[in-house]
Structure 1
């Protein structure tokens, strides 16, 4: 039997061997010294369950933009979902070089392409496969952009080409994306193409000075230099080459933002020079603010604005656009707002947790399936279902549930006053004050040292336990007693801080914190945890207006007002509410020298001085955090 098997096996293999030999003989003859590189290899094989096309789409100025079109085989009458990206459209559509469509696209795309959508990614002008010049957050054509093209015109021309040339489509287009892609999604709403029927901008870059990537209320975000180097250098870019040590120490030793830029050769980057030249909220910044651009127009494309409650990069933009549009009378059926329990862009990934916090299931998938896709379906599908988009949808952290509201903020503003003995009071207390010394040589860190602002540490820093600074002599911590009832807030808490300084300038950082019970057997990792619910900074020189920097008069009391990020959170019974006040958050924000210099970007070592900061409470100078308390 053994001999018979071997003969049978040999007979079975022979035809295949002959066929293989025939195929090889048909190929060009090889020589051991010939060039063995070939021109290309099509990694999308015939067995793939999708079609993937790469095209160059012409713009009105003659430049062509690299675009990738992906759809499941057999797609007909499909809506187009477009994203315009600076992060390599080719790479975003070849994630695993698989023959399965769900594997080559980002996670968030699966629900769409499995339901007949045509997914399109495009490199923005001047990057990766696209022609033209790259300009960071290219402004709208006009005073800041003398050319005839911008992200609005490029989106228009792209959509025009797609609906005329993608025969599998139904001629309806939606646009989406997060961060920079959220910015390009918003720009597409300015003079939009008639085929653009819906938009979901996520964590969009809207105003780089007021509260998104480069500044927050006038304080400069030093880590932006790394992004500038990655985005605008063709060869040799990447993170600033300061090594892998403690970033707190590296930034402290470098000095001012200008000194840091000089030390690492960053002044060769036009975008760095632009930012350093515009430290205040001047016409250059104001002219780029997308919320102002959209607020001055009638919105004609239904739009759902999305942001994460703990977005460490772009917490400002989406709510700012929402408020600007509501202020100009835009109805709820045209603009809605969604806030999830996420870090930056986490809506597009698995989102079961954030740092130590655990949610009820995958909140990213829940949002996409319950709200985002139905929104696109009702506006883009040929036989569209009826639209039932909630005006506002948020996730109530603390009690961990999705909620629908009719407007935002959805709570009534109620003051929680700073009080004597480092307390917090719902009624105005007797007048008093507390002081601390702020030393620029020893700024308060944003994370326990050594500080590394990359990876998970950066993604989750906003939910890091704040006990690591509670008790520092340059941090004031005020607390309620143990709550006997829940306190539910829905909106952006507002800071009213009455303070004076012995210097001529100062930063103020306020943190709204949920203090967990000291004993927590259900989740020991959160026992006594001080969870940041909102953390934000204000640069004192702008107390009279963000375009009017002025020195502070030593010893004079000022009322500083700003907002914390938008939240939906429940402080549970048994917890406490805490408010921390400090004057630095380093190295995320550059140090305020606390003496007067016309531009903090160019402060010299001798400009950095200690200052005594005095916070007042009660009476006519009652410091408080105004909480948007919901009437549950």
Structure 2
């Protein structure tokens, strides 16, 4: 006897077949193209809506709303993206909601959240003009709209037109989406109740995508082309060879842009026209914009410890907003053991480094979702958000702190014979020759600033340059007790050059024991915890540049990225000093030119760089040492 379900299926199949045969035969020469196909079938476990949401100026923005069938009274979690909302909501053409959405969304839609992705104006299927990092309306934007107004208008429409929602909205996203999340906090809609900006683009000159402390980041050319060409610009057509060679052959940033036709792009021209931290850059700095306003939306800021693109933004916003947070419950900071945006993917490892489980999933389930739940759910649980949450690499554990930085700054001094010590040495100096014709590479060659090579370059073993004559390495003895740092190490480099300008790059490194049978790959590994550059012409201030006086000793001061790390007993601490990091940063010609962007071949000359230590010119890296 057949099972009833099998019998029913057989009857349905026979009925359908009979219906097909009973219909008139299909004309052989009928046009076989059809207007559309709805890939979301009746058996799908989700609802997916595509709508065009009107903005106050009449522009309509393409918006996709996705939620599990049966959802009601659900919080809305919004992301505003330049990277195609349609693609973000069709990861696979599946009938399961967790398969069509990004990995990070599963925990939310499984608990009744309504997920919304929207194309920013001018990109994807949205109407309007696209402006990279569109400034806030005001001196740099004479129109009536910006990302703040677009977020406001979008939220207003959503809470009025999504009946399955409870009328409460959170906003999140990484990188550019982190930037749009922050912009939503400027004059926010009353329904916006929480924000989780991840690795946000905040200040493109000071330390995010375009410049770091005045040094231009060349990889931005590829991003510019990809983002601002309607038909899809792709990467700069320089071939697949060594990017070190390609950039060196081209010369300056201007010469490179001319060689590959990039001056057709308005964003490239803008970058080249503003090499210093002028009003154009300062007027777009989101941390400065937010500091002028009262924070009314609880905000959890997030950054990866090895974020290769936007290491500056989240800590800068935290620093700007923390003075307002008198009860220590409105703004929090999270630093995870991640590359850029890795929090939204599996995060069990970074390059050769391995963690205790999937740290991205741990963060999303233990901290991010509870934070959003307590602010967005109708029957909300009590909020218990850590003021500061960091992952201590070295010991591999999550830690909660009440403030940041969470350590006391202690100088680690450079000294004679490549020494590094917590004791101040006698006065002295050491020199090296910096040659722009042979810049220090950022990675072992050949270099390709893309894919996994780009994602993990900050954890590259630094032994590949240790020993170069133009890289000075200072090292402590073997540690007999742990050194735990929690904050942004501060560089104080007393140096002089025979040129009229110079770049200085400092790396803080954890040197592993030479032998490590448990993990041979890490034997002797020189793990960079922070790498940062400073362009010497800005020693007196970032808004205007000035030549350096040859032979004069200057105190160059800047910060390394924020870190929570434990140098373990048996390890050593190293500091490397060099004057180029190529091709990530354009070369400093080391002669005086008004704009390094436009330096000519004759301008690039060798210079002798002298690093001073001890006495009144005691070079050091100040470590935020925690008392465990």
State the TM bucket, normalised to the shorter chain: over 0.9
Aligned to 1:465: 461
**CA shift digits 1:22-76 (9 cap, x unpaired):** 246557x633333211000000000000000000000000010000000000001
Is 1:606 paired with 2:602? yes
Is 1:20 paired with 2:17? yes
- The verdict on how the C-alpha distance between 1:525 and 1:407 changes in structure 2, with shifts beyond 3 A counting, is same
CA distance in 2, matches of 1:14, 1:399: 63
CA distance in 2, matches of 1:591, 1:613: 15
> Which shifted more, 135-144 or 33-42?
33-42
CA distance in 1, matches of 2:498, 2:362: 51
CA distance in 2, matches of 1:15, 1:306: 53
Cα deviation for residue 551 of structure 1 reads 0.2
Aligned to 2:26: 30
CA distance in 1, matches of 2:365, 2:12: 52
Normalised to the residue count of structure 2, the TM-score between the two structures is: 0.98
2:274 is matched with which residue: 268, 275, 278? Answer: 278
- The verdict on how the C-alpha distance between 1:33 and 1:612 changes in structure 2, with shifts beyond 3 A counting, is same
Cα deviation for residue 14 of structure 1 reads 9.0
- Equivalent residues in 2 for 1:86-485 (5 A)? 86-329=82-325, 331-485=327-481
- The verdict on how the C-alpha distance between 1:580 and 1:166 changes in structure 2, with shifts beyond 3 A counting, is same
Please tell me whether the aligned partners of residues 295 and 324 of structure 2 are also in contact (alpha carbons under 8 angstroms): no
- The verdict on how the C-alpha distance between 1:609 and 1:109 changes in structure 2, with shifts beyond 3 A counting, is same
Please tell me whether the aligned partners of residues 229 and 237 of structure 1 are also in contact (alpha carbons under 8 angstroms): yes
Cα deviation for residue 17 of structure 1 reads 4.6
Cα deviation for residue 206 of structure 1 reads 0.2
**CA shift digits 1:608-631 (9 cap, x unpaired):** 000000000000000000000000
SS at match of 1:403: strand
- The verdict on how the C-alpha distance between 1:613 and 1:334 changes in structure 2, with shifts beyond 3 A counting, is same
Cα deviation for residue 20 of structure 1 reads 2.2
Please tell me whether the aligned partners of residues 612 and 618 of structure 2 are also in contact (alpha carbons under 8 angstroms): yes
CA distance in 2, matches of 1:26, 1:201: 56
Please tell me whether the aligned partners of residues 79 and 381 of structure 1 are also in contact (alpha carbons under 8 angstroms): yes
**CA shift digits 1:458-510 (9 cap, x unpaired):** 00000000000000000000000000000000000000000000000000000
User: Which consecutive residues of structure 1, in runs of 5 or more, have no partner in the other structure?
Assistant: none
**CA shift digits 1:392-417 (9 cap, x unpaired):** 00000000000000000000000000
CA distance in 1, matches of 2:469, 2:151: 53
Question: Aligned-residue CA RMSD in angstroms?
Answer: 1.5
- The verdict on how the C-alpha distance between 1:541 and 1:156 changes in structure 2, with shifts beyond 3 A counting, is same
- The verdict on how the C-alpha distance between 1:568 and 1:133 changes in structure 2, with shifts beyond 3 A counting, is same
CA distance in 2, matches of 1:558, 1:237: 43
Cα deviation for residue 425 of structure 1 reads 1.2
SS at match of 1:292: helix
Aligned to 2:579: 583
**CA shift digits 1:429-455 (9 cap, x unpaired):** 100001000000000000000011111
Cα deviation for residue 521 of structure 1 reads 1.1
Is 1:534 paired with 2:530? yes
Aligned to 2:508: 512
Is 1:65 paired with 2:58? no
SS at match of 1:413: strand
Cα deviation for residue 329 of structure 1 reads 5.0
SS at match of 2:240: coil
CA distance in 2, matches of 1:603, 1:244: 26
Name segments (4+ residues, structure 1) moved above 6 Å: 12-15
Aligned to 2:559: 563
CA distance in 2, matches of 1:297, 1:14: 67
- The verdict on how the C-alpha distance between 1:25 and 1:601 changes in structure 2, with shifts beyond 3 A counting, is farther
SS at match of 1:626: strand
CA distance in 2, matches of 1:329, 1:398: 31
Please tell me whether the aligned partners of residues 298 and 330 of structure 1 are also in contact (alpha carbons under 8 angstroms): no
- The verdict on how the C-alpha distance between 1:364 and 1:17 changes in structure 2, with shifts beyond 3 A counting, is same
- The verdict on how the C-alpha distance between 1:24 and 1:196 changes in structure 2, with shifts beyond 3 A counting, is farther
SS at match of 2:178: helix
Please tell me whether the aligned partners of residues 296 and 328 of structure 1 are also in contact (alpha carbons under 8 angstroms): no
Cα deviation for residue 332 of structure 1 reads 1.8
Please tell me whether the aligned partners of residues 325 and 331 of structure 2 are also in contact (alpha carbons under 8 angstroms): no
CA distance in 2, matches of 1:506, 1:327: 36
SS at match of 2:581: coil
User: Which consecutive residues of structure 2, in runs of 5 or more, have no partner in the other structure?
Assistant: none
Normalised to the residue count of structure 1, the TM-score between the two structures is: 0.97
**CA shift digits 1:89-116 (9 cap, x unpaired):** 0000010110000000000000000001
- The verdict on how the C-alpha distance between 1:453 and 1:330 changes in structure 2, with shifts beyond 3 A counting, is farther
CA distance in 2, matches of 1:14, 1:364: 49
